[in-house]
Amino acid sequence: MESTVEELMPRLLPVDDWDLAEDFDPTVPPRTPQEYLKRVQIEAARCPDVVVAKIDPRKLKKKQTVNISISGCQPAPEGYSPTLKWQQQQVANFSAVRQSLNKHRNHWRSQHLDSNVIMPKSEDEEGWKKFCLGERIYSEIDALSDNENIGIDYMKVGFPPLLSIVSRMNQATVTSVLEYLISWFGEKKFTPELGRWLYALLACLEKPLLPEAHSLIRQLARRCSEVRVLEENKNEEQISALNLIICLVSRYFDQRDLADEPS
């Protein structure tokens, strides 16, 4: 078996039987090149032929597979396709928001958060869904009871994407939260709370996009196009919000194959 391995994997640094010092000790740092190569040879011989990794399945993230589709967005419903001028204006507004955010990020990051604002850890998917969307949407409760209408309970209605919050999020967290919300949106309806957070997270994404973020925003745009087609009541405000997200993904982040054709 050893000779077969030798033939398939010839030695790049062959080690001959040099006359090593009588006091050669492989456990101490090598003193000569010959001792170094001999030590490498000894360590390699001690390695097992097969190594089995011990993996804790609880630490594996859900949905490891990333599916990338090359299909474009579905066309907007008749009469709801945005004009080119409107799309260009939204891109300009979005660019200004990003510039302002980057310019004042350190200032907002230094602002103290209210005592009730406890940001979840990056890997806490359920925690972020509740934080952004609120218990009411997360638990699919249709309305708040009368005694809950006095004051705003952000645990119930979700925290808005305040600058003091999003400025504290690094790129890994931004991408993770975006993934969590897009996953939620893949099975749930579009809401204003979701729209505000998606806009804010897109504003925080740094260019050039990482491959994971690139796949996510394309998935988001396609989902928006699906939802607006299925929108039965044709709520203009909601369709406008969906058009906006598709516009930013396609025209600001240069995914032109997903762009709406001007009406």
Q: Which of 210, 194, 73, 224 lies closest to 128 in space, CA to CA?
A: 194
- With 60 as the cut, is the pLDDT of residue 203 above it? yes
Least confident of 30-34, 71-75, 186-190, 212-216: 30-34
Is residue 234 situated within a structural domain? yes
Would you call the peptide bond into 120 cis, given omega within 30 degrees of 0 as the criterion? no
> What pLDDT is attached to residue 262?
77
Mean pLDDT value of segment 98-122: 92
CA distances (Å), origin 233, targets 213, 228, 229, 236: 32, 10, 10, 9
Give me the pLDDT at residue 8, please: 47
4 confidence band (pLDDT: 50, 70, 90) = very low
Is residue 158 a part of any domain in this protein?
Answer: yes
Residue with tokens 């993934």: 179
Residue 87 domain-assigned (yes or no): no
| Mean pLDDT value of segment 203-223 | 95
CATH number of the domain encompassing residue 201: 1.20.58.1070
Does residue 20 form part of some domain?
Answer: no
What is residue 95's three-state secondary structure? helix
Kindly state whether residue 250 falls inside one of the protein's structural domains.
Answer: yes
* pLDDT, tens digit (0-9, with 9 covering 90-100), for 152-191: 677 788 899 999 999 999 999 999 999 999 999 998 989 9
**What is the per-residue pLDDT for 66?**
46
Residue 18 domain flag: no
pTM over 0.85, yes/no: no
- Neighbouring CB atoms inside 10 A of 86's CB total 17
What mean pLDDT comes out for the span 204-215?
93
HSE-up (13 A, CA, CB side) for residue 110:
4
Confidence of residue 67 (pLDDT cuts 50, 70, 90): very low
- Does a structural domain hold residue 209? yes
Mean pLDDT of the residues in the chain? 80
Output the pLDDT for position 177: 97
- pLDDT beyond 90 at 144: no
Query: Above pLDDT 90, what percent of the chain?
Result: 51
The count of domains in the chain is 1
Task: Give the domain extent around 132.
Answer: 102-141+153-258
- DSSP secondary structure code for residue 248 in this structure: I
Nearest to 120 by CA among 180, 61, 65: 180
For residue 239, is it within any domain? yes
